[in-house]
Amino acid sequence: MRKPAAQRRAMGSAACVLGCLLCAVVGAQPMPGMPNMTASDEEPPHPTRADTVLMLPHGRPASGTAWMPDSTPVYGISRQSGPWEWMYHGTAFAAYDRMNGPRGDRDLTGPNWAMAMGRRRIGSDSELQLRGMVSLDPVTVGGGGYPLLLQTGESWRGQPLMDHQHPHNYVSELAAQYRRATGPSSVASLYLGVVGEPALGPPAFMHRTLALDDPLAPIGHHWQDSTHIAYGVVTLGYATRTWQIELSTFNGREPGENRSRIESPEFDSASARLSHNPSPEWALQVSHGYLRRPEALHPEADIHRTTASAIFNRRLDERRNWQSAFVWGRNRVAGHDYDSFLLEASRKRDGGWSPYVRLEQVSKSSEELVLPSGFTASKGHLVRQFTLGAVRDLPIGGGYQWGVGGQVILSTVPDALEPVYGHNPTGWLVFVRVHPRQMEHRQQAPTARPEEREADGHGAHGSHP
């Protein structure tokens, strides 16, 4: 447990950042050439070279500084406030969750999150972005998490969580990013987070389209994208229209059991990531990171994490979208390698049925799975999980999309683990979910040169912050 002085320093750091953000909002001046994203249908002025390179396609920004495919639909609410362009999005579930077998459990649960992002121009060649993400999981899910067979990671009441997904913190991101055009097709960036996400792994699972309809986390979460909540993050980046390279330093320790606490930043870990969007339908990344003592219950263990991912998104029409993702993540702990593989796909149809599927295979140690003492602690066990679900949107008007859904889960474990888990244990959920409706945007061509846009008379129409 941290000392009270450390807690005061952490809260002081958060207050300082919030004060700086407030000053930036209050002291903001109008942005020249900034398109107004209210109900007006007027064409904005032709973009300058800096406008063109700073404005990302609406679907690309994801968690932290990660990239999604440019064609990804955006479900959110957009507002213009003076020189600031704001976007709000999130999702919430109310679910009955039942996992069967000797390690099964059942519960009423409500995973949720909400995010606000703002951007404004600074001068003629720079922009400032502010990002905040919150969750009521500590209340609606509870400290012990929700039932999920084979899930591991973090702790509750001093004991490792097993077969439960931990809640996320009240504050999951509190960060700012400064981006500056360094040429007609390149941008340098600085991302600072009191709570943030370093350049490690794919976009966090809740920012992929499938998570709008699936309330459960992947069981490979702590192999792939668990650093999406880190206390203290600094990321330097350099990007062209289709490539991005980033270096991060951050606090490698995972959040503690007190979900309201903002820990003191300790820059003891590091990562690097290379991202590439070769076309509007693809987002690729590879990354590697060193995490110093991430688990509170195992302070002697460092992790070297390597990940790679490919996300494909295709707009089928105005109401239907297909997205699939492949993610590989490896944790190297004390000389042992533990791999995870994920394949997921969703066909989202606004106003209709949205089916989805997820397949996972993860190598988890006996210690990670909290197996009885007869198992060798470092021995890896290949566990697999298959999820099939669907959501039906309800005919409810307004700015939010309500739906009811359900899913079934089939898990498989090695023969040696059947006395612990049973033979092919199953689970199921039924739930209600809500998220904002899809935003309508006129996308700019992400790979066109500024001269081409100016020659054919097309201008930019704003950007997802």
Residue 310 near residue 323 (C-beta atoms within 8 A): no
- Looking at residue 48, its pLDDT comes to 55
| Confidence band for 437, pLDDT divided at 50, 70 and 90 | very high
- pLDDT, tens digit, 9 for 90 and up, residues 49-99: 555 668 888 899 999 999 999 999 999 999 999 999 999 999 999 999 999
437 Cβ neighbours under 8 A, 6+ residues apart: 75, 350, 399, 400, 401
- Looking at residue 449, its pLDDT comes to 38
Q: What is d(CA 424, CA 67) in angstroms, rounded to the nearest whole number?
A: 36
Among candidates 323, 311, 326, which has minimal Cα distance to 347? Answer: 323
- pLDDT, tens digit, 9 for 90 and up, residues 203-218: 999 999 999 999 999 9
- Looking at residue 440, its pLDDT comes to 74
- pLDDT, tens digit, 9 for 90 and up, residues 137-156: 999 999 999 999 999 999 99
Q: What is d(CA 347, CA 353) in angstroms, rounded to the nearest whole number?
A: 9
Look over the chain and give the mean of its residue pLDDT values, rounded to a whole number: 87
Whether the per-residue pLDDT at 172 is higher than 60: the answer is yes
- pLDDT, tens digit, 9 for 90 and up, residues 239-288: 999 999 999 999 999 999 999 999 889 999 999 999 999 999 999 999 99
Q: Which domains does the chain have, with CATH numbers?
A: 9-456 (2.40.160.10)
Report angle CA 21, 26, 31 to the nearest 5 degrees: 95
- pLDDT, tens digit, 9 for 90 and up, residues 377-404: 999 999 999 999 999 999 998 999 999 9
- Looking at residue 47, its pLDDT comes to 52
Among candidates 180, 115, 193, which has minimal Cα distance to 436? Answer: 115
Portion of the chain with pLDDT greater than 70, in percent: 83
Residue 265 near residue 307 (C-beta atoms within 8 A): no
Tell me the pTM.
0.85
Strands 126-134 and 159-165, how do they pair? unpaired
